[in-house]
Amino acid sequence: DWIIKTNGEWLESWAQWGGIASSSLIAYYELDDAGAVLVDTMDNYNGTINATALQPGIIGTSYNFSADALGVTTGNITEIAGSNNKSIFAWINITDYGNWGGIFGMGGSTGDTSFNLFTTNLGNLTYIGGGGDTLYAQFKPTLNTWSLVGLTHDGTNTVIHLINATGEYSESAVRTSNVTNTSFYIGRPSYSAEYFAGRIDEVGIWNKSLSASEITNLYNGGSGSRPFAQGTITLNSPSDEYISPT
């Protein structure tokens, strides 16, 4: 909670900070910056990006990753390495189901040391943890439409998430997550050149497993303010209270 002072008066206990706690947000990429720098608005894990020109996004602009483009952090994201709880979400607008494409990922390519989210050549979302540790979802994002997709891990279960205009879907299974501490990739997996076909926007990384209600709030915030980097502010002042200027 915080307090507003207006016209010399303190409005105590009338303001609340809502949304997802910023203390659990590790990195957030708006993908609004032209040039070669992958900007983390949390200023923890900046990187480089060679995606094509900026295009309209779900909020502001996005990058088109269809032409062998990628973003990669220059530092290793230690907070979600190993078996730590983690969540990674992004808005995607896929243009083609024709090939496997990595949306985001980190880690190695052996054992259970990676944490990657793909779309298959049929469009289904798929988690690959390395060494054949996979989870295939029975749902897919709609072509040429913005969808919120993500992965969560709570120490035991790994869950694939999808929310779009047709509904809210999830696929869960017990999966070990001993992720190698490596750079984080956007637009391809961490260990192969399988590039995503379409646009990606608003990528957020947390060091917690987001709840169902938090994920729904992310989706509902997609048409307004940035739900990843900023919570929502609600002023609970009674509607008939007024402090006159002095």
pLDDT of residue 5: 46
pLDDT of residue 22: 60
pLDDT of residue 2: 43
How many secondary structure helices (H) and strands (E) does the chain include? 1, 20
Q: What is the 3-state secondary structure (H, E, C) of 7-50?
A: CCEEECCCEEECCCCHHHEEEEECCCCCCCEECCCCCCCCEEEC
pLDDT of residue 46: 93
- DSSP designation for 203: E
Distance separating alpha carbons of residues 163 and 166, to the nearest angstrom: 8
Tokens representing 178 are 């001993």
pLDDT of residue 110: 60
Q: Which residues contact 212 (CB under 8 A, 6 or more apart)?
A: none
Q: How far is CA 235 from the centre of its chain?
A: 27
Which residue, 238, 230, 241, is CA-closest to 18?
230
pLDDT of residue 139: 94
Q: pLDDT truncated to tens, each residue of the chain (246 aa)? A: 444 444 455 444 333 333 455 668 999 999 998 878 889 999 999 999 887 678 999 999 998 887 667 788 877 888 888 888 999 999 999 999 989 999 999 887 665 678 999 999 999 999 988 556 788 999 999 999 999 999 999 988 899 999 998 999 999 888 777 787 788 999 988 888 889 999 999 999 999 999 998 998 888 876 444 554 443 333 344 444 433 444
The structure's pTM equals: 0.82
Residues 149, 125 contacting (CB under 8 angstroms): yes
Tokens representing 213 are 């209600």
Which residue, 67, 63, 39, 186, is CA-closest to 116?
186
Which residue, 205, 185, 181, is CA-closest to 194?
185
Residue 209 vs residues 96, 109, 112, 159: alpha-carbon distances, Å: 30, 23, 18, 10
pLDDT of residue 109: 65
